[in-house]
Chains A and B, each alone.
Chain A
Amino acid sequence: MPSALLPIRISDLHLIKGGRAVLGGVNLVIEEPGITVIMGPNGAGKSLLLRCLHGLIEPDQGQITLGHRRIADCRKQQAMVFQQPVLLRRTVLQNLSFAAPEIAKTNPQHLMHALEAVNLADRADQPARMLSGGEQQRLSLARALLSQPALLLLDEATASMDPASVLLIESLVRAQSAQGTKVILVSHDQGQARRLANEIVFVCNGQVVEQSPANQFFTASQNPAAKAYLAGEILI
């Protein structure tokens, strides 16, 4: 079943920071279910675009609709995993209970299942912030998935993680996508994008310069900036 928050429409999105247009008129329509990976060089505006999409940043101009609704009207159907996981100063299990108090009351076993899914069941009673970086990110993902979001946003969620943790997170993301959640992922990792993406959105200098199916992007990208990026040339 496709996500209830499709299509995602971003129209003429402008964001100015420090007098500079960090997003300069982004237009983007995401209609297809599955996994969309946003790629682009550092400072291109990928994370800002994701934050605007999640309603964490109010753009200076432009409009975003998710399934023909405003962001504020569908906040509870979204979840985001940040590059740096922010966990409460509580135990692993209490972090999940806080995120889903209703589930904690009515079906606490579900929380343990969520921890099992990310291989953290045996750490349930440990302080969450004593977990390793990869474990913290897995817990972040488990927390995000508790609400069964229609839209899952991941901002370089696997950066600086070991390969096993990356693969575990990727398999969870893929499984969630298969259940109908629309996944939008920011990543620098071309290997990850190849493994996961159905669609690539390439952002450069605060604008979307290419949007194409993943296969096409990696084999026959027509955009010079995207080609240079894929070739490993630094773009500023």
Chain B
Amino acid sequence: MDVLAEAFRLIITLDEDLFEILWLSIRVSLIALVISVTLSLPLGTYLAITQFPGRKFCILLLNALMGMPPVVVGLMVYMLLSRSGPLGFLGLLYTPSAMIIAQVVLITPIITALAIQVIENLHQEYRDTFCSMGVTGRRAVAAYLVDARYALTTCILAGFGRAIAEVGAVIIVGGNIDHLTRVMTTAIALETSKGNLTLALSLGTVLLALSLLVNALVIGVREYAGKRQYA
């Protein structure tokens, strides 16, 4: 109980170390999310509404990548960014940028695959009307993205949830360096192994609260969209 009380004290008193870790976690995951969304939504929409040879293979690949273990992603990004790797000259290994890259690789297939499902359903419904109205190309893509905005928001939040809770990949490419690449999940792993349960519990509580917040947002968005028949 003392440990738990101490953990809450750290949160309530806005402990500097705790909030440095928290801020880095959120910053890394949000930047990764923005990059991933920029890639995923147009790609997902294109794959959902366009027929071309190899489309099914692309979707199969994305679905397979969705389930890729984070440590494998971490290993791949590590090999890319390590000094002897093809992007080693950038000197990004063990920096927040490396963690962002790993998270982008991790969540882009997830958001893309979810977006494909959402847009495919919408495309089934809109196809004839759009064809009748002569809506094609970029105008159609933009319309699908706008009309699926609420469903896509839940996909994006799912991606954020995955990114912020990730540990395997970021610990490999970030190195869990204090004041530089230490994020909530890697800090929890480290502090637990050191027996410092107070900080680990504080971070765990914040992570849990973030997860609850994301899920509450998902439910809120769904309910709002459902009420206005925008789902």
Shortest distance in angstroms between A129's beta carbon and chain B's nearest beta carbon? 4
Partner of A130, one of B132, B133, B147, B229: B229
B131 at the interface (CB under 8 A from A): yes
A208 at the interface (CB under 8 A from B): no
Closest residue of chain A to B147, judged by CB? A89
Q: How large is the interface on B (under 10, 10 to 19, 20 to 34, 35 or more residues)?
A: 10 to 19
Shortest distance in angstroms between A166's beta carbon and chain B's nearest beta carbon? 22
Tally inter-chain residue pairs, CB-CB below 8 A. Answer: 40
In the complex, A150 Cα to B128 Cα: how many Å? 19
Residues of the A chain whose Cβ atoms lie less than 8 Å from the Cβ of B229: 89, 127, 129-130
Task: Mark interface residues in A91-118 (1 if CB within 8 Å of B CB, else 0).
Answer: 0000000110000000000000000000
Residues of the B chain whose Cβ atoms lie less than 8 Å from the Cβ of A86: 125-126, 128-129
B23 at the interface (CB under 8 A from A): no
Main secondary structure of the interface of B (DSSP, over half): helix
A80 at the interface (CB under 8 A from B): yes
A167 at the interface (CB under 8 A from B): no
- Is there an interface contact between A127 and B125, defined as CB atoms closer than 8 Å? no
Residues of the B chain whose Cβ atoms lie less than 8 Å from the Cβ of A88: 126, 143, 147
In the complex, A56 Cα to B129 Cα: how many Å? 9
A residues whose Cβ falls under 8 Å from a Cβ of B: 51, 54-56, 75-76, 78-80, 82, 86, 88-90, 98-99, 127, 129-130, 143
What would 9 more interface pairs be, CB under 8 Å, given A86-B128, A98-B143, A127-B228?
Answer: A56-B131, A78-B132, A86-B126, A86-B129, A88-B147, A89-B231, A90-B146, A130-B228, A143-B133
